Chain A
Amino acid sequence: MREDQGLFDKPDGTQSGAKMKSGTPVKPLKRQGFWVEVEVNGTRGWLKVSMVNFGGSANGPSAIDTGRLGGGNIVSTSAVRGLSAKDLIDGKPNFEELKRLEQLSSVNSEIIAFLSDGNVTASESKISLTASKSIIGDSASPVKVNSIPSGGANNPKKDDDW
């Protein structure tokens, strides 16, 4: 855990104020949605599932629901590894990593080959989004209902087909 974490009274974000240090073992009792009830040194409270590191458990958070999860070897962890608002404001800049980032770039010949390999062909139409009304939601126009594919060979579509 990157920072101390307080237990919550209820699975709704109401904090009780009981603080735990990073790495404190907790015993999971039950899960409710995104929340898990835990026992820490005889005190019960709630944590978000993502705040608990289930690395020591064989079955992960889903095992709480089935009663297969034993106690111990569960440590609290921060909600997100890095990049909380606090990290961004209070963190120290990392100039060594910046040097690595500055070495990452692409040259034109690589980009052209990459586009060709991926069958990415620049559009010949004039592409501009304007404030004109969309077909979708326009009650005067017939609405064609299409699923929006995430791409792939299993989703063949014709050009311009929405």
Chain B
Amino acid sequence: MNRWVFTFLFAAISNLQAQTDEESVGRAGAAQVLGGAPLVASIPNQQYVNLVGNAVARHSGVNYKWHIGVIKSDAINAFAMPGGFILLSKGLLKGLDSEDELAFVLSHEVAHVVRKHHYQVVQRQRLAEQAAKGLQSVTQDNDTAKLAQASGQIYARGLDKSAEFEADRLGVELMTRAGYDPAAALNVLEKLQRYKGDDPRAELLFSTHPSPMERMDQLLQVGIDRLPRPSDSSARDQRFKLFQRSL
């Protein structure tokens, strides 16, 4: 077999395996979060967030089959799982004011997936475990219950600040490319700032993310205020209000 063909096939197969493992990790993580809060029943509401999420994700240049869900929780939070799974709390959605703000929330989560932030943490944990136990092929361990538990710990502990800043930055790029207003990102952060303090609904969010003020500063430093803004959002604002009312 031609050497180049072999190299190409090997890379393709390796990539396929990585994707499959990424999805397995994501499924386990999603199941763990859903164990804490199930999906809301309304299918139209679920379809709406899937459409907004796909609208921004298609500008990421990476092909995932996205599965986005709204969960029954008063918490103010959102979760991105490897392989294209995203869960948004009803409490978070109730506090937003526009589809553009929702687009920022979703594009931030899409960015986590595209940059493989959580998947890399799982991979590092597997390697550490492998080194500690001296076992072979722990990296292939797809025990779903174990993966789910490990994912729960990652979501409770949060990612590095740098990963959150990167998700903000890439998220704003994606939503702007899609045609949403980047200023909505600052609106969302300003809203999150209001929850800071004693509001227990945002306790986990604040323990796992940099402060909204710091996140806003980072976005301003990289030039969010230089990005183009769309002029008319009335059509999508109307449908967002309908969506929010029916939540």
Contact = CB atoms under 8 A, between A and B. Distances in A.
Given A115-B55, A122-B177, A89 B156 contact: yes
Interface residues of A, number: 67
A148 B75 CA distance: 25
A28 to B, nearest CB: 17
Contacts of B145: 93
Interface of A is mostly: loop
Contact of A111 (B55, B98, B172): B55
Nearest to A159: B231
B204 A84 contact: yes
Interface string B216-231: 0001111111111111
B61 interface: no
Nearest to B87: A101
Interface stretch (B44-52, B121-129, B130-138): B44-52
Contact of A83 (B30, B36, B59): B36
B222 A101 contact: no
B105 interface: no
Contacts of B22: none
Interface string B66-101: 111101111101000000010101010000011111
Nearest to A80: B75
A111 B51 contact: yes
Interface stretch (B3-11, B12-20, B112-120, B192-200): B192-200
* B interface majority secondary structure: helix
A118 B75 CA distance: 28
A111 B204 CA distance: 32
Nearest to B49: A104
Contacts of A152: 98, 233-234, 237
Nearest to B172: A129
A132 interface: yes
B54 interface: yes
A123 B180 CA distance: 9
A136 B32 contact: no
Contact of A127 (B91, B176, B186): B176
30 contacts: A48-B200, A79-B200, A80-B74, A80-B75, A82-B36, A83-B33, A83-B204, A85-B156, A87-B35, A88-B156, A93-B35, A110-B51, A114-B51, A119-B232, A119-B233, A119-B234, A120-B179, A120-B236, A122-B178, A125-B228, A132-B222, A133-B223, A134-B222, A134-B226, A148-B183, A148-B187, A150-B101, A153-B232, A156-B231, A159-B228
Given A151-B181, A156-B231, 11 more contacts: A34-B198, A82-B36, A101-B67, A105-B67, A106-B54, A111-B54, A123-B179, A129-B173, A135-B225, A151-B97, A162-B225
Closest 5 CB pairs of A and B: A79-B200, A82-B37, A118-B236, A93-B31, A85-B156
